[in-house]
């Protein structure tokens, strides 16, 4: 099942002074033919068909008030005739979050404002029982926040292999690093695995933006290995994979006060991106670009090139 058009474009940001490293973007935000775009849609391409294959008619997932993943799930599930339920925890309110939550509430999904992770865990059995009863006893299909299960990560593996094909086609040089925001770890895990499968030496610079989950290199590599095991179970013939220390470089320097709280550095990065025609958001991609610029100024990429994954995917 395809929910978007590939490949997403890559382009160099000409005229950007970044410590001598060439800076490129891969415009993942353009991916998605429905009401939302970006890396969330890549994961849903695998998660929603899996729900249909298992005969489920309701999907249940989680996020914060301004959840991109929850919104994308609600919209694409609706398009496929599936019901969606989203349990959301609180986050600091600003115009961006209020807009996202409003879109979620108008998406047709059942939205449960549970407030905290503990209350979400307590409410989940009740929510599942309610939706199972409404579906004649069929259990809902549940996937984690961000869609970051091994099934969902297959979508970001595909995106990494797509980037590797663009390198082979001469559309861009092999990057030294790809920079992505990390809210649940699935995108970083998928790109690390995809690069290993493609034989690229590219490292994933994983910029943590969420302080409510454990997000470190061992966790992301473990998710990558679980995804490779899933591929093998489904018949993929994979050789030995080099997935070890250093393949994912975890960076918490731009987290700021916590998830969903903007920072001055992210605001400056958003302004710089705008000067180069790159639309970023304050929760994810603004912080990722801020980390990229800071690392480039310190010479951590050498001459690069370095690629920013622009994963923000709003639609008019």
Measured between alpha carbons, how far is 51 from 59 in angstroms, rounded to an integer?
A: 7
Beta strands 83-89 and 177-182, pairing class: unpaired
Give me the architecture of the 39-146 domain, per CATH: 3-Layer(aba) Sandwich (3.40)
What confidence score (pLDDT) does residue 105 get? 97
The pLDDT tens digits for 145-162 are: 999 999 999 999 999 999
What confidence score (pLDDT) does residue 255 get? 96
29 φ/ψ angles, rounded to the nearest 5 degrees: -60, -20
Measured between alpha carbons, how far is 277 from 266 in angstroms, rounded to an integer?
A: 16
Structural contact between residues 212 and 199, judged by C-beta atoms closer than 8 angstroms: no
Measured between alpha carbons, how far is 183 from 214 in angstroms, rounded to an integer?
A: 10
H/E stretch holding 225 reads helix 217-233
What confidence score (pLDDT) does residue 245 get? 85
The closest of 287, 271, 112, 101 to 211, measured between CA atoms, is 287
At 265 the three-state DSSP class reads helix
Same topology, domains 10-38+147-309 and 39-146? Answer is yes
Sheet holding 110-115, edge to edge: 110-115, 83-89, 58-64, 141-142
Confidence of residue 19 (pLDDT cuts 50, 70, 90): confident
The arithmetic mean of pLDDT across residues 209-234, rounded, is 95
- Beta strands in the chain, from DSSP E residues, in sequence order: 10-12, 23-26, 58-64, 83-89, 110-115, 141-142, 177-182, 203-208, 248-251, 306-309
Q: In the chain, what are the domain boundaries?
A: 10-38+147-309, 39-146
H/E stretch holding 190 reads helix 186-198
Q: Is the pLDDT confidence value at 18 over 90?
A: no
Q: Output the six-digit token pair for 110.
A: 């059942």
Measured between alpha carbons, how far is 15 from 13 in angstroms, rounded to an integer?
A: 6
Q: Is the pLDDT confidence value at 87 over 80?
A: yes
Q: Is the pLDDT confidence value at 122 over 90?
A: yes
What confidence score (pLDDT) does residue 170 get? 98
What CATH class does 10-38+147-309 carry?
alpha beta
Q: Which is more confidently placed, 231 or 96?
A: 231
pTM for the whole thing?
0.96
Measured between alpha carbons, how far is 191 from 174 in angstroms, rounded to an integer?
A: 14
Provide the phi-psi class of 170: left if phi over 0, else alpha when psi is between -120 and 50, else beta: left
Confidence of residue 96 (pLDDT cuts 50, 70, 90): confident
Measured between alpha carbons, how far is 86 from 69 in angstroms, rounded to an integer?
A: 10
Structural contact between residues 301 and 19, judged by C-beta atoms closer than 8 angstroms: yes
């Amino acid at each position: 099942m395809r929910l978007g058009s590939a490949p997403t474009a890559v382009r160099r940001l000409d005229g950007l002074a970044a410590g001598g490293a060439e800076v490129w973007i891969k415009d993942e935000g353009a991916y998605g033919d429905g009401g939302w775009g970006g890396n969330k849609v890549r994961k849903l391409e695998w998660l929603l068909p899996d729900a249909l294959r298992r005969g489920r008619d309701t999907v249940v997932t989680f996020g914060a008030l301004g959840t991109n993943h929850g919104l994308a799930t609600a919209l694409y599930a609706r398009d496929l005739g599936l019901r969606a339920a989203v349990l959301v925890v609180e986050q600091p309110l600003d115009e961006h979050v209020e807009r996202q939550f409003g879109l979620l509430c108008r998406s047709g999904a059942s939205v449960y404002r549970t407030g905290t992770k503990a209350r979400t865990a307590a409410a989940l059995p009740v929510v599942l029982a309610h939706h199972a009863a409404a579906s004649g006893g069929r259990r809902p299909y549940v996937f984690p926040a961000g869609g970051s299960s091994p099934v969902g990560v297959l979508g970001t593996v595909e995106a990494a292999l797509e980037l590797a094909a663009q390198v082979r086609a001469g559309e861009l040089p092999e990057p030294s690093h790809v920079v992505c925001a990390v809210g649940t770890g699935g995108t970083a895990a998928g790109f690390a695995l995809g690069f290993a499968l493609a034989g690229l030496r590219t490292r994933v610079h994983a910029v943590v933006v969420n302080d409510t989950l454990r997000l470190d290199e061992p966790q992301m590599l473990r998710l990558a290995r679980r995804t490779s095991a899933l591929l093998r179970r489904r018949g993929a013939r994979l050789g030995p994979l080099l997935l070890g220390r250093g393949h994912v470089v975890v960076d918490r320097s731009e987290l700021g006060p916590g998830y969903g709280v903007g920072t001055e550095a992210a605001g400056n990065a958003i302004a710089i991106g705008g000067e180069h025609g790159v639309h970023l958001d304050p929760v994810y991609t603004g912080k990722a670009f801020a980390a990229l610029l800071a690392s480039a100024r310190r010479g951590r990429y050498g001459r690069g090139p370095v690629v920013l994954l622009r994963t923000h995917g709003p639609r008019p």
